[in-house]
């Protein structure tokens, strides 16, 4: 049943209105990840179902929640397709970390995102990692990414592009276990609540100012 039909029910009007206001952005996110309009529409429909089932008392920022949910769903579709092709090429994956209000314990959710964030830590620089996560997972505009990292918007765009390139290159670097755990925990908190302030601070703090300028 579509959001448009459910909008006729008084008890669903508010959640439907919120979703429909965010829908153009969600479609854009899914299309950017999947590069397929039909698959993008399917992902957005699934995001709508997740939004209906979510415990909205725990959601502080509905647009951020919807954006992160759509991103995870789209990336899971990419991961599934890549598995069927028996290839490991491509980007990071937040496999199975769909915050749908289900009963799975927090530790299982953390384990499901572990591999994707570890891959990002092993391939991208701190500046690239920060820009990529904010853009790919939460659909930050480049202007806002620039504000977080203290660079211009065009520099933020370059950082995201380089992160994409490095994810495909297969290069690897050592991962600090404590840094990895901290990133997983903070990312999950942001995805669940929609409050991204702690994630912004963590990502920005890992980036030396001169390194950002040099990378950009």
**204 contacts 72 by C-beta, under 8 angstroms:** no
Mean pLDDT of 28-56: 86
Return the residue matching tokens 């899914």.
Answer: 30
Cα distance between residue 90 and residue 210, in whole Å: 29
Q: Pick 214 or 18 by higher pLDDT.
A: 18
Q: Taking 90 as the threshold, does the pLDDT of residue 59 lie above it?
A: no
Q: Taking 50 as the threshold, does the pLDDT of residue 181 lie above it?
A: yes
Instruction: List, for residues 33-43, the tens digit of each pLDDT value.
Output: 887 788 889 89
**What is the model's pLDDT at position 104?**
44
Q: Taking 70 as the threshold, does the pLDDT of residue 131 lie above it?
A: yes
pLDDT-based confidence at residue 127 (cuts at 50, 70, 90): very high
Q: Taking 50 as the threshold, does the pLDDT of residue 161 lie above it?
A: yes
Phi-psi region of 185 (alpha: psi -120 to 50; beta: other; left: phi over 0): alpha
**What is the model's pLDDT at position 11?**
53
Phi-psi region of 61 (alpha: psi -120 to 50; beta: other; left: phi over 0): beta
3-class DSSP state for residue 12? Answer: helix
């Amino acid at each position: 049943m579509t959001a448009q039909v459910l909008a006729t029910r008084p008890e669903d009007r508010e959640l439907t209105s919120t979703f429909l206001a965010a829908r153009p952005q969600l479609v854009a996110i899914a299309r950017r990840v999947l590069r397929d309009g039909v698959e993008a529409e399917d992902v957005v429909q699934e995001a709508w179902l997740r939004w209906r089932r979510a415990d909205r008392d725990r959601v502080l920022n509905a647009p951020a929640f919807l954006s992160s949910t759509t991103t995870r769903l789209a990336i899971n579709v990419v991961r599934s397709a890549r598995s069927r092709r028996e290839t490991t090429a491509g980007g990071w994956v937040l496999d199975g970390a769909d915050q749908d209000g289900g009963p799975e314990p927090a530790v299982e959710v953390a384990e499901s995102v572990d591999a994707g964030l570890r891959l990002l830590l092993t391939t991208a620089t701190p500046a690239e990692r920060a820009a990529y996560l904010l853009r790919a997972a939460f659909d930050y505009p480049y202007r806002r990414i620039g504000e977080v990292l203290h660079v211009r918007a065009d520099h933020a765009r370059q950082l995201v592009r380089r992160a994409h390139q490095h994810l495909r290159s297969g290069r690897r670097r050592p991962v600090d276990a404590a840094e990895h755990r901290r990133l997983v925990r903070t990312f999950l908190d942001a995805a669940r609540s929609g409050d991204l302030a702690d994630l912004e601070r963590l990502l920005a703090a890992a980036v030396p100012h001169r390194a950002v300028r040099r990378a950009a």
